[in-house]
Amino acid sequence: MDSQLPPFSLDDIDLPLADRRVGKVRISWALPTQSAGEEPRRLFVTTDRLSAFDRVIGLVPGKGQMLNELSWWWFQQLAPIVANHALSIPDPNVLIARAATPLPVEVIVRRAITGVTDTSLWRRYEAGSRVIDGHRLSDGLRKNELLPTLLITPTTKGEAGTHDEPLGIAEVVTCGLVTNDLWEATCSAALQLFAHGERVAEQAGLILADTKYEFGVGSDGSLLLIDEVHTPDSSRYWERETYEERLAAGTEPQSLDKEIIRRAFVDVGYRGDGPIPMLRQSVWDAVAAGYQGAYERLTGTSLALAPSPPVSRIIAALNAACLVPSENNPLLNSKAN
């Protein structure tokens, strides 16, 4: 990350735990088991990294806390629909979760035809495709129009530095990625989760335009909702009050998600390849405000950002919860930006 990134943002952290795995936004470790037969667990730290176009493009202070606490709120709301991996949050940026084997596909549920990336539903439709990911779409659709039925459009899970690739809904099974029974259960759960998310968003004056779910299989073979859920990182949220007016005018909906940053990059000619261009600070401020607005309107509670610097705070919380060694811990000097 460059020197223009803000102070006290959480970019990286190291912990004296095994099996460190680094994603675009989250870092996780295996937690040691205390007794035979204990369910395996992982510790996740959600950083302030912002990813778009399958790349990390910057940091937004407080974003990791917002994602982690909002996901925790949603996991509790959605537990009656499908089990999830969340167990506790000992720090605003930390999640303790059941260990799970992730499915090799991400499940995207779409209420609207939108997007600016090359693999988005709108960009492929605009290019002339009418059968997309196994779904036939009618002629005459407008960008950002709500679809009459929900669509599930799976993607592969790209490794670091590679792009996620769209899949036909039937290809998930025919390509041997997921068994038929497990895929049917996954799709059923995803549609129910989205329907609940839509109801909550509507009460908050928002439209849930689309979202990405990740599922895994627990140690007992059960289907689990994992990673994050219904956050502004994994979802598009639009202002309901101004949606119809903007749709009629052909202007973009008011967003409370990272589509703000995607559009800003596209406006300067960037779609994910080559050097990352600089953006005005006002764009980053708008992203932070959108994330906080989505959190507060969905949960009905205000968000108080946790004290900084984040690394020492996180390690202190984990020490207090007896999750990392507390004596002679050299990690209090880990970088925090």
User: What is the pLDDT averaged over residues 262-278?
Assistant: 92
| Of the candidate ranges 103-112, 160-169, 314-323, the one whose mean pLDDT is the lowest | 160-169
Q: Where residue 332 falls among pLDDT bands split at 50, 70, 90?
A: very low
Whole-number Å distance between alpha carbons of 25 and 240: 28
Residues 166-188 pLDDT 10s: 899 999 999 999 999 999 999 99
Q: Where residue 117 falls among pLDDT bands split at 50, 70, 90?
A: confident
Residues 53-65 pLDDT 10s: 889 999 999 999 9
Q: Please, which contacts does 282-285 make with residues 24 or more away whose CB atoms are closer than 8 Å? A: 284/58, 284/60
Predicted confidence (pLDDT) at residue 26 exceeds the cutoff of 90: yes
Predicted confidence (pLDDT) at residue 91 exceeds the cutoff of 80: yes
Residues 222-236 pLDDT 10s: 999 999 999 999 999
**Do the strands 86-91 and 94-98 form a parallel or antiparallel pair, or are they unpaired?**
antiparallel
Q: Are 208 and 230 in contact (CB under 8 A)?
A: yes
Predicted confidence (pLDDT) at residue 130 exceeds the cutoff of 90: yes
Is pLDDT larger for residue 34 or for residue 311? 311
Is pLDDT larger for residue 34 or for residue 81? 81
pLDDT of res. 37: 76
Measured CA angle at 294 (ends 292, 297), to 5 deg: 105
User: What is the pLDDT averaged over residues 37-64?
Assistant: 93
Predicted confidence (pLDDT) at residue 304 exceeds the cutoff of 80: yes
Q: What is the largest CA-CA distance in the chain?
A: 66
Is pLDDT larger for residue 166 or for residue 240? 240
pLDDT of res. 324: 83
Cα 137 to the chain's mean position, in Å?
Answer: 27
Is pLDDT larger for residue 36 or for residue 168? 168
User: What is the pLDDT averaged over residues 134-154?
Assistant: 96
> Over the chain, what is the mean pLDDT?
92
**pTM of the full predicted structure?**
0.92
What percent of the chain has a predicted confidence (pLDDT) above 90?
Answer: 85
The separation between the first and the last C-alpha atoms of the chain, rounded to the nearest angstrom, is 8
Predicted confidence (pLDDT) at residue 17 exceeds the cutoff of 90: yes
What percent of the chain has a predicted confidence (pLDDT) above 70?
Answer: 92
User: What is the pLDDT averaged over residues 152-158?
Assistant: 88
> Which H/E stretch holds residue 98?
strand 94-98
Is pLDDT larger for residue 263 or for residue 160? 263
Other C-beta atoms closer than 10 Å to the C-beta of 130 total: 12
